[in-house]
Amino acid sequence: MIDKVRQLVVDLLDSGRADAVLALANVHANVQPYLYKKGDSLDSLALWPKYSMGPILKSIQAAQPDMKLAVVARGCDDRALVELAKRGQIDLNNVQIIGLACTADEATECECANPYPANIDVGNKVDGVASTDLLAELKGKSYDDRLIFWKQAFDKCIKCYGCRNACPLCICEECILEDDSWVKAGEIPPPFPIFHLIRAYHLSDKCVECGECQNSCPMDIPLTSLYALIRNEFNELFDYIPGAEIDRKSPLVTSLEEDPIREETA
């Protein structure tokens, strides 16, 4: 698999179809994001563990908007790029996507239901993770028990903002969570449930299922499960998967005629 990615990267760079390719590299015995340019050795190329490519691509485009970029993108990266483009954060016209399907093991580790990009260049489509024990358990809980579950989970929160920082779709220039009038500043754990509910609402039409919020949580809070529930609910209401269709606006900004609420029509 990795050889095929290597070949695609070399082709893009050598042919001049891309000025640089954003991928991962193994350096100092660790895996990191890396911007490959023509002539770079691709021996270091790596695929896993994944890093979120969207925000890095955004920072590169901001520094040099006319650069012809390519990016090795997994399903979640692919959806993040679409969603970022839709929201004016990046310009996909200048970007070529090398679509990489995740392996079954990788999908399991991420608890990912859709472990493949829209167009697969490398790898084979495998089934996603439909549900987990925790998701089933949470669905079965009463409201009071759920509240206790999340209260206990978020009692560990040290307000690192890692979930927000790592999220490819947290794109507000001024973050309401840092505004003392909304979330009292300087408190650990941050006030419950406002901090986490506001974030959940903001991500309800944006979450692309990358799991980076949980991956970056130093307190092991099961955010992937929280957002899996939210994505399902959003989809049930609006038949909408963030990052799936570049031409479709978020139902939260359209009228009822354009995008009706599903429960009603059913």
String of contacts with other proteins for each residue 26-65, x by CB under 8 A: -xxxxxxxxx-------------x-x----x--xx--xx-
Under the criterion CB under 8 A, does residue 197 sit at the interface with other proteins?
A: yes
| Residue (173 or 257) nearer to other proteins, CB | 257
Q: Which of residues 128-147 bind other proteins (CB under 8 A)?
A: 138, 141, 143-147
Q: Which of residues 162-191 bind other proteins (CB under 8 A)?
A: 162, 165-166, 176, 178, 182, 185-186, 188-189, 191
Taking the complex as a whole, the smallest distance from the CB of residue 220 to other proteins amounts, in Å, to: 7
Number of residues that bind other proteins (CB under 8 A): 78
Under the criterion CB under 8 A, does residue 94 sit at the interface with other proteins?
A: no
Q: Which of residues 214-253 bind other proteins (CB under 8 A)?
A: 215-220, 226, 229-230, 233-234, 237-238, 251-253
Taking the complex as a whole, the smallest distance from the CB of residue 131 to other proteins amounts, in Å, to: 15
| Residue (1 or 219) nearer to other proteins, CB | 219
| Residue (78 or 259) nearer to other proteins, CB | 259
Under the criterion CB under 8 A, does residue 161 sit at the interface with other proteins?
A: yes
Q: Which of residues 63-92 bind other proteins (CB under 8 A)?
A: 63-64, 67
DSSP of the chain: -HHHHHHHHHHHHHTTS-SEEEEEEEETTEEEEEEEETT---TTEE--S---HHHHHHHHHHH-TT--EEEEE-HHHHHHHHHHHHTTSS-GGGEEEEEBPPPHHHHHHHT-S--S-SS-SBS---------HHHHHHHHS-HHHHHHHHHHHHTT-----HHHHH-TT---SS-GGG-TTTS-TT-SSPPTTHHHHHHHHHHTTT--S--HHHHT-TT---HHHHHHHHHHHHHHHH---TTS-TT---GGGS-TTTS--HHHH-
